[in-house]
Structure 1
Amino acid sequence: MTDALKSTRSLNVTEALRELLLQGEFDPGTRLQETWLAERMQVSRTPIREALRVLAKDGLLEYAPNKGYSVRRFSLEDIVSAFRVRSVLEGLGCRLIAERGLSEALRTTLQSTLQSGENLLQSGQLERGEFDEWREMNKAFHLAILLETHNDLLVRFAKQSRNIPIVFNGSFRWYSLREFQRAHDHHQVIFDAMNQQQPERADFMMQEHVMHAAHILKKNYKD
């Protein structure tokens, strides 16, 4: 196997394991053993070893001599701080887009997510605790805005600020239907502000939107 192929396989394993961690597949404090992970992911121990090293560097895992790697336990302060950073970065993204105007592609994408949000509010799924479609819609809305900035540093740091499972997955388990409606209304106002080229309003509303989620989490989260 060439060095390039080895690097690609290691990267794929790292991203697959990152996704499992961000989805909350492993409880905080869980020890991750190379052999067990290699069997689960059907790869050799070499890419697993590299993935663990990278993910520890990224702050998702902790390493202790003679004990190995374990899933990091995040405090409420860690989580709220991540939301604060995310609110500022995504607010800046909205400001940049509003200053130059929406592209037709972004307008279409955001209108589609807004319609999806409206449909979900009417479907009864959220009242039944079925949040997966809302989570995907919400991720699509926020990611489309970040990518539209074409600012690699902004995108990278914004993604890093979501590098905590509960930040990545959102606070939706604690939302009432009224709070889902409020989040949807925020999306609509953010879209309108960017579409009407109102940078300050777009920035403010995105920060308000993200910190609304942080406020709900702060009221309900137990370490």
Structure 2
Amino acid sequence: MDFKKQTYAIQVSQFIRKMIQEGKLSPGAPVKENDLATFLNISRAPIREALQILTQDGLIVSEPQKGKTIRVLSAKEIIDGYALTAILEAEGIIMSLDNWTDEDNKDLLNILKKMGNKSKKAADITDLAELDELLHNMLLSRCTNEQLIENARRFSSNISKYLCREYWKKSFNPQSFYSRHKKVVDSFFTKNPEQIRKTIFDHYNELAVAISKLIEND
């Protein structure tokens, strides 16, 4: 690995993220500084810093006797985490409704249209992952509270991209995935805060329940 010295920690954290994403480091797997330092042929200091970054992001946990491991999420943690995601995302959308332009509305509908078209030939919902991220980012694009946005997207990203990726991709078929996002967009255009809150909560709660059931039945 040819890492630039000034960005060692960031690049190491990205490398570990990729290993989690590709299933090379599964939930519960140990993460050892010495092994990573030897494999990447760099000192332990940037490894330690990278692990701190990933711990703060919720991907790694540190426990007495066990050391650092890839985080394992319980069904309750998934449901609770998605509930928090829903609250933050809905409030971020609602507080920024007046900031939307006609061009923003067109961009949102265009993303949804692309998702609908792609869902017809997608093998599974991983084919729609990029559009899923674009759509949710677009819904929060006019919110000016950066901390809200960061926290709203972090847990959802950890689930779909890293910690439960294999379960996430089996949670819904592509057509259902698109239909669920259409409901969210439809609720947005009502401009009704309560309707938006309910739809966003249902959207994430249904996903949390689906993933939790898959984990329990595995």
Kindly provide the CA deviation profile for residues 7-38 of structure 1, in whole angstroms up to 9, marking residues without a partner as x: x4423433443454356541122112224334
Question: Any unmatched runs of 5+ in structure 2?
Answer: none
The match for 2:135 among 141, 156, 167 is 141
More divergent stretch after superposition (27-36 vs 156-165): 156-165
Matched, 1:63 2:65: no
Q: CA deviation at 1:105?
A: 4.7
- Say which SS state the counterpart of residue 27 (structure 2) adopts: coil
Under a length normalisation based on structure 1, what TM-score does the superposition of the two structures give?
A: 0.77
1:37 alignment partner in structure 2: 36
CA contact (8 A) 1:37 1:48 kept: yes
Distance 2:137 2:40 in 1: 27
Amino acid at match of 1:146: L
Amino acid at match of 1:175: F
The match for 1:171 among 155, 162, 168 is 168
Matched, 1:103 2:101: yes
Amino acid at match of 1:218: S
2:110 alignment partner in structure 1: 112
Amino acid at match of 2:55: A
Count of aligned positions: 210
More divergent stretch after superposition (142-151 vs 186-195): 186-195
1:216 alignment partner in structure 2: 210
Distance 1:110 1:41 in 2: 42
Distance 1:9 1:218 in 2: 36
Amino acid at match of 1:31: P
CA contact (8 A) 1:21 1:60 kept: no
Amino acid at match of 2:179: D
Matched, 1:188 2:182: yes
- Say which SS state the counterpart of residue 143 (structure 1) adopts: helix
Distance 2:38 2:129 in 1: 30
Amino acid at match of 2:150: R
What percentage of residue pairs aligned between the two structures are identical?
23
Kindly provide the CA deviation profile for residues 61-120 of structure 1, in whole angstroms up to 9, marking residues without a partner as x: 22245754221222111111111111111111222233x152345324322221122112
CA contact (8 A) 2:96 2:142 kept: yes
Distance 1:72 1:80 in 2: 16
Under a length normalisation based on structure 2, what TM-score does the superposition of the two structures give?
A: 0.78
CA contact (8 A) 2:125 2:172 kept: no
Amino acid at match of 2:169: F
* 1:68-107 aligned within 5 A: 68-98=67-97, 100=98, 102-107=100-105
Q: CA deviation at 1:145?
A: 1.6
Question: Any unmatched runs of 5+ in structure 1?
Answer: none
CA contact (8 A) 1:60 1:163 kept: no
- Say which SS state the counterpart of residue 174 (structure 1) adopts: coil
Q: CA deviation at 1:42?
A: 6.2
Divergent runs of 4+, >6 A:
none
